[in-house]
Amino acid sequence: MTHGGRLATRGDDRRAAKTRAQGAAPAQPLAALFTSPEFLIRRAHQIATAVFTETCAEIDLTPSQYSVLFALRERAPIGQNELGRLVALDRSTTSLVVRILRDRGLVAASADDSDRRKSFLELTNDGRLLLARAERLNSKSSQALMSAFDPHQASAFIALLDRLTSTLDVGTARAPEAPASPPAPAKQPASAPPPKAGEPKANDDSF
């Protein structure tokens, strides 16, 4: 091989090594992102929402709407603000979800006889029927999500999620158990005000 040929070969080798290095450079920073709890929890939320939405496509229900229907069955009559706190939704999202469900005839509002400014929410008969269907579909959604684990891992995963959400609650996670008699609902504003500091932001599950 000539001297010029050796130089050309070395130059090609250096360029190839540089190309490989450039291609491999982002790997470490991306690994730091992809293994962060914030990224993984966001991805898990996206996956859970997509699985639920696909499973419940036939009844056109989102996870937030399902949570509201479920809570109303167990705690109605209840005020809108308390309902939002119960299912960990900010006030503007709760207002939107309730409006959608009322427009579909699944939720009804009744005024407080002692204070016309207050109202109670409860399920309609159609709401109860749809919730019964949604529970069966939600069971399939849960099974699909937990299929990534064996039974022991699934139990541990749920326990860890519960610990995370209860330990690092920012102020509007699950409300305490309701007293025996239904509490008076909070005053309902004409339009939903912006969320207070510390309230969770609107969920990205299309409400």
* C-alpha to C-alpha distance for 35 and 42, rounded to whole angstroms: 12
Total structural domains within the chain: 1
Dihedral of the alpha carbons of 113, 94, 123, 111, in degrees to the nearest 10: 10
pLDDT tens profile 19-31: 555 555 555 778 8
Residue 99 lies in a domain: yes
pLDDT tens profile 103-118: 999 999 998 777 777 7
Structural contact between residues 82 and 186, judged by C-beta atoms closer than 8 angstroms:
yes
Residue 102 lies in a domain: yes
Residue 152 lies in a domain: yes
Residue 206 lies in a domain: no
| Interval 84-111 mean pLDDT | 95
| Interval 49-57 mean pLDDT | 95
The rounded Cα 180 to chain-centroid distance in angstroms is: 29
* C-alpha to C-alpha distance for 156 and 144, rounded to whole angstroms: 17
Residue 78 lies in a domain: yes
Which residue range(s) make up the domain with 143?
33-167
Residue 197 lies in a domain: no
- At residue 148, what is the residue type? A
Q: What is the CATH number of the domain that holds 139?
A: 1.10.10.10
Structural contact between residues 75 and 177, judged by C-beta atoms closer than 8 angstroms:
no
Per-residue pLDDT at 3 exceeds 70: no
Helical (H) or strand (E) element with 112: strand 107-112
**Six token digits for residue 101:** 């469900």
Closest CA to 145 of 130, 158, 135, 129: 158
- In this prediction, residue 200 has a pLDDT band, given cuts at 50, 70 and 90, of very low
Residue 137 lies in a domain: yes
Residue 95 lies in a domain: yes
Q: Is the pTM of this model over 0.85?
A: no
**Alpha helices for 56-200 (secondary structure H):** 63-75, 80-86, 91-103, 125-146, 151-167
Structural contact between residues 170 and 200, judged by C-beta atoms closer than 8 angstroms:
yes
Please compute Rg for the chain using Cα positions.
Answer: 26
Structural contact between residues 67 and 153, judged by C-beta atoms closer than 8 angstroms:
no
